Structure 1
Amino acid sequence: MFGKKAQPPIKSLIAQGTRIEGNMKFTEGLRIDGEVFGDIQAGPEENGSLLVISEAAVVQGAILADHVIINGTVRGPVHARELLELQPKARIEGDVSYVSLEMHQGATISGQLRPLIAQGAAGEEEKPLLKLATKSA
């Protein structure tokens, strides 16, 4: 509805108090509340993927997924093939690439922002969507 694609279900959780050391691959949805020291990569692009990094989470490594929602700390590059949502407590130390970006007040990025061209818009000079969040009462 209204041009929004349905998000895949979150089928995996790395709970708070859990620490993973090593690279990870996942399909569909993954939520991280704990710590991951290694790269996190979503499966093939045609499946769609959702990665949620909660306020308490810490990730040290590269991230690659279609839709990435961050409210915790990431130390490494972030590549969102579709949408990157940075919530108020998001802290990123690394370069960020995205097709669409939604960044709330309070989120910080220490690195370069690299907008990507949407896959359906190859050959078109389309500006990436940039949403500015307003503080609600």
Structure 2
Amino acid sequence: MFSKSKINEPAPKSADPAKPATDATASAVPPKPTSDFKTSTPPKAKPPASILSSDLHITGNLKTTGDIQVEGTVEGDIRAHLLTVGESATIKGEVMADDVVVNGRIVGRVRGLKVRLTSTARVEGDIIHKTIAIESGAHFEGSVQRQDDPLTKKPAPAPKAAPAPKADA
């Protein structure tokens, strides 16, 4: 199980004093450097969600690539990666996020890849989604429309132009 180390043993005497004795491990091929070594910095940890407390009232638009948890009142549009609307929260404006979880009240359009209305949700407005879940007890007034990419607003179709009349020469 354990073997005696050769480090503490005296080196064997060689016949030629000019030539030092070589250890068996010294003649072995040195290990090759691994190519798995990476000099890049480790990935940054995802920051926690920004929380808007219940005593906070915001008038204006909010835009972030991160996560937002709203517990207060927002009068304006919100754009985020993940938006969580707390039970006591009220949002009056358009909401657009990859994931939207509604526990409170939204008055306005909701756009999201994944939209979830919990049993305490109150939504008055249209929902445009890729996937949706509505729990029993949720209150919803508006229309629901499924789109493959609900986060991009599709431009209104342009009216067709009438052909130009030919001029007689």
Query: Scaled by the length of structure 1, what TM-score is found?
Result: 0.72
Query: Rg: which structure is higher?
Result: 2
C-alpha distance 106-118 of structure 1, shift in aligned 2 (>3 A): same
2:54 alignment partner, SS class = coil
Question: Is the strand fraction higher in 1 or 2?
Answer: 1
Q: Which has the higher helix share?
A: 1
Residue 123 of structure 2: aligned partner? 92
Corresponding residue number in structure 1 for 2:105: 73
Sequence identity percentage: 32
* Alpha-carbon distance, 1:9 to partner: 5.6
What is the total number of aligned residue pairs between the two structures? 105
> RCO greater where, 1 or 2, for CA within 8 Å and sep 6 or more?
1
Calculate the aligned-residue CA RMSD, in Å.
1.5
Please list every run of 5 or more consecutive structure 1 residues that lacks an aligned counterpart in the other structure. 1-7, 43-48, 120-137
Where do 4+ consecutive residues of structure 1 move more than 6 Å?
none
Question: Which letter maps to 2:108?
Answer: G
CA distance in 2, matches of 1:118, 1:15: 31
Aligned to 1:18: 56
For structure 2, the 5+ residue unaligned runs are 1-45, 151-169
Maintained 8 Å contact 1:10/1:31: no
Distance 1:60 1:35 in 2: 8
The two structures have a TM-score, normalised by structure 2, of 0.59
TM superposition shift of 1:11: 2.5
* Aligned position for 1:50: 82
